[in-house]
Chain A
């Protein structure tokens, strides 16, 4: 369930509640749904046939009786949207090293519950994903216990120390799909330049958590009206913008592929928009929380540590700019930055709490309610931002229902009313600011490699 474009069928013994993987998948007919596949320009009521772990075809009507044999399992999708399995290219699975927060098993189960069939996990584990063995161990764990495909992101530098290049080629051979030093962003300009050049050999992007830690200083929230009111040290937008600006110049000069993780400011978005216009090989992602919340939430929640993350919730002007970037195509992907933390770590003074919130189990509902039903973007664009967009950014095989592609499918009900209840999360952690939110639209089922996933 890991290597790009390949579908591992070996797997360990299937425990109860997991997709049985011993035998190759049979045929699955997803019938009567609204098939939305932006990669092929499809948006119509149709049937989808999966066969042998791959997409066989999408057709207006596929009668089970017309198919050879009698091994066709039918999934009734009437009233539901049927789309390529959703892909989240920014999650923290915390394994190895911080299994008390999340594991490959619980994190991918949260992914499946949230409608995701694939995730890319960040390398800030302990030890970090900075050499082949760690990539392999995560890949193996995902094979054994995963509920979704797991694509590790390797480190740019050894130990994520920002000094010398990690063995990027070795890691890519083992299944890594991008490189990033994540929360310890690549600060040294020469290292960034070399990484962009070196990663070209392996066709993977260099992903930057764009933040100048000197400019962030001791900041704990966005610098603006609300940091002024609350007396909390601010993180200026410039902390992100100066890094994005520098890296874009280096990406242009080196011809390397550059990906901006959780882009959060209007200025950075404008820099990316302009770079794309010039043909720079850049992609970017934004998180659902930066699309629906602003720095005001820190005050409105009375300093809730579930409003503390990096980059911080920004101003309303930034939020509006990001939403505009979804609509005009500048943004390539929505990614959750799913960052589990234990209750004991978050239940402290705001300034002392770790940065980060969960995302996998709320992303789809939030985006349907606040973006699609709010009339900001059409449903097809949302599906693109959650499937083919992220798959393209990281060169993954999924994100499409084209014949021959992996049989990863998400079924969701765009109108189901839900109330977010973190007590029911499959994640090990509970750190979400969306508990109690009433949202319209929810995932119903995921199909992974041609089999329905039981979460």
Chain B
């Protein structure tokens, strides 16, 4: 059976770690079908009419939340936004109680972003509604990895066999973990590079090569993914100054010369220009950073559609 023929059965998308390759393919193929909606004069299809989606964001987010919201609206779902500042959590309500209250309003799906790993998993166990993890601490950000894979596939035509370098604060990045699971599962060769002070204890166990030198990571790379460096990490003894960081791991046009001729440069955003990436690289001919953002909407439409059409299937049975 091809990925297209196999029926989707998950209620939740909590991480890439639990996905099988055919499920990843199915999401990417479905996203390809939704991509053209963005180019229609009326950017809307009735697919999820009557479905209610709650965007529950406990961390500030511009890109991811807008992307989900646009995807929901383009599919004609009714979407509601909750953010930490307006939620009951600031009044001392527990997260479980907040979730159960939302559940009582009978939503079909909850998209959650939270600072702590495992929070979407905890909610998924309690809720009848489906749950999409839109980022849980440094754990996973599955839709980001899916949109990254979609972008790579669009540019390169494949994932298998590509050399991918992921550079930056590996330890605190959910984008890395989701990307590593997805790319290694689909046959890419992944190298992660960063300071010793921002590299998790056992990164090799995830099936990647670990290096501590940018040039080594860039050598022959087909894809270079730069990660945001959070400036506040300086105070936690992880690195002494931006100047020194950029000299060690900042991506400049000059250093990029080591990569493959048709390399693509990616960044999940938000970027710190001049910290992890020089402006001429970010805005240069190899950059696909804005394509990633555009593809995010199609990929999220695909995920929303698959999770919610599965619910339909059950109701009909």
Contacts and interface: CB of A to CB of B under 8 A. Distances in A.
B240 to A, nearest CB: 18
B201 A228 contact: yes
Nearest to B177: A231
Interface in A194-233: 223-225, 227-232
B205 A229 contact: yes
Contacts of A352: 116
Nearest to B170: A228
A228 B203 contact: yes
A231 B96 contact: no
A352 B174 CA distance: 19
A303 B122 contact: yes
B169 interface: no
Interface in A227-261: 227-232, 234, 236
Given A229-B177, A231-B136, A231-B140, A303 B200 contact: no
B138 A231 contact: yes
A351 B96 CA distance: 14
Contact of A231 (B125, B139, B201, B205): B139
Given A225-B205, A229-B177, A349 B200 contact: no
A230 B115 CA distance: 13
A232 B201 CA distance: 11
Interface string B173-206: 0100100000000000000000000001111011
A6 interface: no
A344 to B, nearest CB: 7
A223 B138 CA distance: 14
B116 A227 contact: no
Contacts of B140: 231
Nearest to B94: A348
A231 B95 CA distance: 20
Given A229-B17, A303-B122, A344-B94, A350 B177 contact: no
Contacts of B200: 227-228, 234
Nearest to B139: A231
Interface in B120-149: 121-122, 125, 136-140
Nearest to A350: B118
Nearest to B202: A225
Contacts of A347: 94, 96
A232 B139 contact: yes
A230 B118 contact: yes
Contacts of B122: 302-303, 349-350
Contact of A234 (B94, B139, B201, B205): B201
B117 A232 contact: yes
B205 A350 contact: no
B201 A225 contact: yes
A231 B125 CA distance: 20
A296 to B, nearest CB: 11
A230 B205 contact: no
Q: Which interface residue of A232, A303, A348, A349 has the most chain B CB atoms within 10 A?
A: A349
Contact of A349 (B118, B201, B203, B205): B118
Contacts of A224: 201-202
Nearest to B58: A349
B300 interface: no
A352 B116 CA distance: 8
A223 B114 contact: no
A347 B201 CA distance: 28
Q: Which interface residue of B116, B139, B174, B177 has the most chain A CB atoms within 10 A?
A: B116
B117 A228 contact: no
Nearest to A226: B202
A68 B216 CA distance: 89
A351 B206 CA distance: 23
A348 B114 CA distance: 13
A435 B141 CA distance: 31
Given A232-B117, A302-B121, A227 B201 contact: yes
Nearest to A344: B94
Contacts of A351: 115-118, 137
A229 B15 CA distance: 11
11 contacts: A225-B202, A227-B200, A228-B203, A229-B17, A229-B177, A230-B118, A231-B136, A232-B137, A347-B96, A348-B94, A351-B137
Given A349-B116, A349-B118, 17 more contacts: A223-B201, A228-B201, A229-B177, A229-B205, A230-B118, A231-B117, A231-B174, A302-B121, A302-B125, A303-B122, A347-B96, A349-B119, A350-B117, A350-B118, A350-B122, A351-B117, A351-B118
Closest 4 CB pairs of A and B: A303-B118, A231-B138, A231-B139, A228-B200
